[in-house]
């Protein structure tokens, strides 16, 4: 957000002339300065605001911080004191998510009247100028005070104004010449008898918008539930100055003051006059909250002692008034982010200055070796990074919309969740019991941004509800998941590389197993597995370490892809159960370097389709000596002289070369393996090729 230094001085006249000193004061106040540009007499400051501080998104909010930090007096700008009465415009509020609402009637007396030059300069710097005096006055009031103000053309409003929730199928036209946008049912809106006038707290529609021909105005100033505004703005894909302010929490006591500033600008410019009293169908009724702090606890938190009187004086600079010893009333601008004593301790720390707080050396020891799990996770992560994957981080919570990608029925293993009964944001109301839904959602998000080469992984936890768990709620199970989509070699220029598929991820698992010195196998995914109906039935597998289930991999099911809007893209998913990969008898590290390479041999059996490769592998493993290193399938093909239904399967057999073994000894073992297979399956037609 861009602000002018002259505009800040209108609120804090004593600000230092030294620009670097002002920048230091902004930084010390927790306002990140992205840049300062001086063009002649004008200095423009670009600020980055904290996500939970909606009050900062205005000149008044930034001025409050500077005045408190520098110990300077804070002034205000002229505002008209509005009178409310029952004779005001007819307006009703039908939703409790509208916390306060005012509507002030105006008559435009001079549409071409100009607002003060400094006001126009502030609007131009912020990129909010429209050239319409009434609209600019409303924008200026929001920019200066932090209270959004919106104007409707009263002659285009049909009947009483009502604030309510949208009905199924209702739509609003946001831009001239475009089709109306249908709203999600339950969206908070402002409407008249015939149409929707605005999406509350987000954006106004075009059908009652102020224009150069407007002669009567209804000036709206309100306060809305932050979550409602955030959801509405997200559904529309919009971010406006009003929504940015409302979704971070606006001051529910300020609507009249914000409207009063806009009215003062218009009346002083000779652009408009009030046409009656202001309607106020809803005034915020809740008392301002209080927070109690303890002086001793504060001293421990900050590392220095402050008397209660000293704390009261410092907090008063930020608008916190002491109601009784140690109990402070939170100002309306801060009720959304100040809830705990530690929040007030942070205010004190900013007032004192973080650099002024005493520093103490952190306790230090000699360190500790990484645990077995830490070593394992590092090994898995390094292997995936080496294969081109990027580590990502997802939330421990999700909502129904994310879970709908998998569409589990009521009796499905993924249907039960540990839920938050009073979640402030329904998008994060359930502890996740799977990672596939978020992985697919991440793929969809990347594709929306035209990124179709996707290799993601994460080490996280899933929470499986169980009354038998130690905590009485759920088992926390550590997992590593990965998702691959796109070309296996996007940098190749000579010809098109194959897409990453089931076998690409299987190779990744085999590489991880090699580095962890684990004996990995793949078997068909049983239908009772929780993810079985979310993965492709013929391109999925369960991962086994020995005989223990240790993960799953497979191509995402077409139904899941369709619900996620992936089109023809076919991502593949991998999930490893971390606890099953933790071996007590062997560390999760690379095997020691051997000077002699392992001894490799191949056996090729012609088999009917009634005998699977896994069955032959099991027989050979049972017959092999303990110095066998690996045994795996490397090729399957149909030989030229094969009978109908026959195929040839090639197995790669790797033996440890230490101690040294003769060729005769190796060949003798191969004879044993061939004899074991032909004895077991000879009657079925299995033979050495």
Instruction: Classify residue 586: in a domain, yes or no.
Output: no
Q: Which of 83-92, 402-411, 558-567, 618-627 has the lowest mean pLDDT?
A: 83-92
Q: How many CB atoms lie within 10 A of CB 456?
A: 20
Pick from 247, 282, 317: which residue ends a domain? 282
Q: At a CB cut-off of 8 Å and minimum separation 6, what does 59 contact?
A: 3, 7, 8, 10, 11, 122, 143, 144, 145
Residues 325 and 300 in one domain: yes
User: ω into residue 659 within 30 of 0, thus cis?
Assistant: yes
Nearest to 307 by CA among 326, 288, 327: 326
CA dist list (Å): 29 to 57, 268, 686: 14, 34, 79
- pLDDT of 364 above 80: no
Per-residue confidence band for 254, with pLDDT thresholds at 50, 70 and 90: very high
Q: Among 265, 282, 299, give the residue marking a domain's end.
A: 282
Token pair in block for residue 180: 């109306």
| Whole-number Å distance between alpha carbons of 466 and 416 | 9
**Collapsing DSSP states into helix, strand and coil, what is residue 363?**
coil
CA dihedral over 179, 180, 184, 185, signed as positive or negative: negative
Q: Do residues 454 and 446 make contact, with C-beta atoms less than 8 angstroms apart?
A: yes
- Residue 634, domain member (yes or no): yes
For residue 680, give the 3-state DSSP assignment.
Answer: helix
Nearest to 402 by CA among 435, 363, 355: 435
Please give the C-alpha separations between residue 256 and each of 104, 147, 278, 291, 652, in angstroms, as whole numbers. Answer: 9, 9, 9, 26, 80
* Cβ density class 86-115: b for 16+ within 10 Å, e for less: eebbebebebebbbbbbbbbbebeebebeb
Q: Are 22 and 15 in contact (CB under 8 A)?
A: yes
Q: Residue 644 has what pLDDT?
A: 86
Asked whether residue 130 is assigned to any structural domain, the reply reads yes
* 82 lies in some domain: no
User: What confidence category does residue 659 fall into, taking pLDDT thresholds of 50, 70 and 90?
Assistant: confident
Question: E-assigned strands of 535-674?
Answer: 535-545, 548-556, 572-577, 599-608, 628-637, 646-655
**At 596, is the pLDDT very low, low, confident or very high (cuts 50, 70, 90)?**
low
- 76-87 per-position pLDDT tens digit: 899 999 999 877
Backbone phi, psi, residue 559, to 5°: -65, -40
Q: How far is CA 392 from the centre of its chain?
A: 11
> Looking at 4-13, 26-35, 572-581, which range is the least confident one?
26-35
pLDDT tens-digit readout, 183-230: 999 999 999 999 999 999 999 999 999 999 999 999 999 999 999 999
**Which residues 6+ apart lie within 8 Å of 609 measured at CB?**
645, 646, 647
The residue among 343, 65, 285, 352 whose CA lies nearest residue 328 is 343
- Separation between Cα atoms, residue 165 and residue 296, nearest integer Å: 48
Return all residues near 591 (Cβ < 8 A) that are at least 6 apart.
517
pLDDT at residue 588 in the model: 44
Contact at 8 Å (CB) between 676 and 620? yes
- Contact call for residues 496 and 592 (beta carbons, < 8 A): no
Only one residue has tokens 């916390």, namely 99
Are residues 646 and 548 both part of a single domain? no
CATH number at residue 485: 3.30.930.10
Count, residues in the chain: 689
Which range is least confidently modeled, 99-108, 257-266, 608-617? 608-617
Using DSSP's 3-state secondary structure scheme, residue 575 falls into strand
Sign of CA dihedral 273, 276, 281, 282: positive
Round the average pLDDT of the chain to a whole number and report it. 90
593 Cβ contact list (under 8 Å, min separation 6): none
Q: What is the DSSP letter of 276?
A: S
C-alpha torsion angle, residues 14, 16, 19, 20 (rounded to 10):
-130
> Hey, what's the torsion of the CAs at 472, 474, 477, 483, to 10 degrees?
-170
* CB-neighbour burial class of residue 616 (10 A; exposed 0-12, middle 13-18, buried 19+): buried
CA 236 to each of CA 229, 249, 424: distance values in angstroms, whole numbers, following the listed order: 11, 19, 20
When pLDDT is averaged across residues 668-674 and rounded to a whole number, the result is 93
Mean pLDDT of 545-555: 93
Average of per-residue pLDDT across 523-539: 94
CA-only gyration radius of the chain, Å:
34
Question: Mean pLDDT over residues 620-636, rounded?
Answer: 89
**Residue 552: inside a domain:** yes
Residues 448, 556 within the same domain: yes
Predicted confidence band at 593 (pLDDT cuts at 50, 70, 90)? Answer: low
Residue 395 has pLDDT above 60, yes or no: yes
Q: Are residues 449 and 576 in the same domain?
A: yes
**Would 171 be classed as within a structural domain?**
yes
Query: Looking at the domain assignment, is residue 574 inside a domain?
Result: yes
Q: Residue 418 above 50 pLDDT?
A: yes
pLDDT tens sequence across 282-331: 999 889 999 999 989 998 889 888 899 999 999 999 999 999 999 999 99
| 647/566 same-domain check | no
How confident is the model over 648-675, as a mean pLDDT?
Answer: 89
User: Same domain, yes or no, for 276 and 308?
Assistant: no
Q: Indicate whether 277 and 348 sit together in one domain.
A: no
Helix (H, G, I), strand (E, B) or coil at 687: strand
Indicate the SS3 state at residue 126: helix
Which domain covers residue 19, as residue numbers? 2-70
Taking only the tens place, the pLDDT of each residue in 102-144 is 999 999 999 999 999 999 999 999 999 999 999 999 999 999 9
Q: What is the pLDDT of residue 222?
A: 96
Given a cut of 80, is residue 591 above it in pLDDT?
no
HEC per residue, 226-261: HHHHHHHHHHHCCCCHHHHHHCCCCCCCCHHHHHHH
Residue 209 lies in a domain: yes
What's the CA gap between 265 and 276, in Å, rounded?
Answer: 17
Cβ neighbours, 10 Å, residue 501: 16
- The answer to whether residues 237 and 196 belong to one domain is yes
Residue-wise pLDDT for 515-524, tens only, equals 988 889 999 9
Q: Token pair for residue 219?
A: 């000036």
Task: Give the bridge partners for 475, in sequence order.
Answer: 464
Q: To 10 degrees, what angle do helices 613-623 and 663-681 make?
A: 130
DSSP state of 662: -
The number of folded domains in the chain is 5
Rounded to whole angstroms, the Cα distance separating 136 from 496 reads 55
| Shared domain check, 212 and 99 | yes
Do the strands 474-485 and 572-577 form a parallel or antiparallel pair, or are they unpaired? antiparallel
State pLDDT tens for residues 475-516. Answer: 999 999 999 999 988 766 666 788 899 999 999 999 999 998
**CATH for 140:** 3.50.40.10
Q: Please indicate, yes or no, whether residues 521 and 452 belong to a single structural domain of this protein.
A: yes
Q: What percent of the chain has pLDDT over 90?
A: 67
Same domain for 634 and 577: no
Of 241, 260, 282, which one is at a domain's C-terminal end? 282
Say yes or no: 182 and 320 in one domain. Answer: no
CATH code where residue 316 lies: 3.30.56.10
Q: How many CB atoms sit inside 10 A of residue 73's CB?
A: 8
* C-alpha to C-alpha distances, 170 to 22, 157, 181, 189, 234, nearest whole angstrom: 49, 17, 8, 10, 17
Q: Which residues are registered as beta bridge partners of 48?
A: 32
Please name every residue paired with 264 in a beta bridge, in sequence order, or none if there are none.
none
Residue 262 to residue 142: CA distance in whole angstroms: 8
């Amino acid at each position: 957000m861009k602000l002018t230094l002259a505009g800040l001085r209108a609120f804090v006249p004593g600000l230092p002339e030294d620009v670097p000193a002002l920048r230091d004061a902004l930084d010390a106040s927790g306002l990140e300065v992205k840049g300062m540009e001086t063009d002649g007499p004008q200095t423009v400051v670009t600020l980055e605001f904290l996500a939970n501080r909606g009050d900062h998104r205005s000149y008044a909010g930034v001025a409050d911080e500077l005045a408190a930090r520098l110990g300077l007096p804070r002034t205000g700008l002229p505002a008209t004191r509005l009178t409310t009465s029952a004779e005001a415009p007819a307006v009703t509020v039908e939703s409790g998510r509208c916390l306060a609402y005012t509507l002030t009637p105006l008559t435009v007396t001079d549409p071409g009247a100009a607002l003060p030059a400094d006001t126009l300069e502030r609007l131009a710097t912020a990129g909010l100028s429209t050239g319409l005096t009434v609209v600019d006055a409303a924008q200026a009031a929001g920019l200066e005070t932090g209270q959004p103000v919106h104007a409707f053309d009263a002659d285009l409003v049909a009947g009483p104004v009502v604030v309510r929730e949208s009905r199924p199928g209702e739509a609003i036209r946001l831009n001239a010449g475009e089709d109306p946008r249908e709203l999600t049912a339950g969206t908070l809106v402002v409407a008249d008898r015939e149409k929707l006038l605005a999406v509350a707290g987000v954006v106004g529609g075009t059908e009652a918008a102020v224009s150069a021909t407007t002669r009567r105005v209804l000036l709206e100033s309100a306060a809305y539930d932050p979550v409602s505004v955030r959801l509405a703005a997200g559904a529309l894909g919009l971010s406006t100055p009003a929504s940015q302010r409302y979704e971070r929490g606006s001051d529910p006591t300020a609507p009249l003051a914000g409207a009063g500033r806009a009215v003062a600008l218009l009346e002083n410019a000779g652009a408009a006059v009030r046409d009656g009293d202001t309607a106020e169908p809803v005034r915020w009724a809740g008392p301002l909250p209080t927070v109690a702090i303890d002086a001793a606890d504060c001293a421990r938190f900050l590392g220095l002692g402050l008397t209660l009187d000293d704390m009261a004086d410092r907090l008063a600079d930020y608008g916190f008034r002491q109601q009784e010893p140690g109990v402070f009333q939170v100002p309306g601008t801060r009720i959304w982010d100040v809830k705990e004593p530690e929040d007030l301790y942070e205010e004190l720390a900013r007032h004192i200055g973080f650099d002024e707080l005493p520093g103490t050396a952190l306790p230090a020891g000699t360190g500790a070796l990484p645990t077995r799990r830490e070593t394992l996770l590092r090994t898995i992560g390094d292997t995936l990074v080496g294969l081109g994957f990027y580590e990502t981080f997802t939330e421990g919570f999700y909502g129904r919309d994310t879970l709908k990608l998998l569409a589990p029925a009521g009796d499905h293993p993924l249907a039960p969740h540990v839920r938050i009964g009073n979640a402030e944001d329904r998008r994060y109301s359930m502890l996740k019991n799977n990672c596939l839904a978020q992985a697919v959602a991440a793929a969809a998000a990347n594709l929306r941004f035209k990124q179709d080469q996707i290799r993601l992984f994460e080490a996280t936890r899933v929470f499986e509800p169980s009354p038998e768990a130690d905590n009485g709620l759920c088992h926390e199970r550590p997992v590593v998941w990965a998702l691959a989509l796109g070309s296996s070699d996007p940098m190749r220029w000579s010809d098109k590389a194959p897409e990453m598929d089931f076998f690409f991820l299987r190779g990744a698992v085999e590489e991880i197993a090699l580095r962890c010195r684990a004996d990995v196998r793949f078997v068909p995914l049983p239908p009772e597995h929780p993810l079985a109906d979310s993965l492709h039935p013929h391109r999925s597998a369960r991962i086994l370490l020995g005989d223990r289930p240790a993960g799953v991999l497979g191509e995402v099911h077409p139904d899941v892809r369709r619900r996620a809007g992936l089109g023809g893209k076919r991502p593949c998913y991998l999930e490893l159960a971390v606890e099953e990969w933790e071996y007590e008898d062997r560390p999760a590290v690379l095997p020691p370097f051997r000077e002699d390479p392992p001894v490799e041999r191949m056996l090729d059996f012609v088999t009917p389709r009634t005998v699977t490769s896994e069955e032959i592998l099991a027989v050979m493993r049972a017959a092999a000596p303990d110095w066998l290193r690996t045994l795996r399938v490397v090729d399957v093909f149909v030989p030229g002289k094969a009978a109908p239904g026959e195929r040839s399967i090639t197995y790669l057999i790797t033996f440890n070369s230490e101690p040294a073994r003769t060729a005769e000894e190796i060949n003798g073992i191969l004879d044993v393996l061939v004899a074991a297979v032909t004895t077991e399956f000879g009657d079925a037609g299995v033979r050495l090729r």
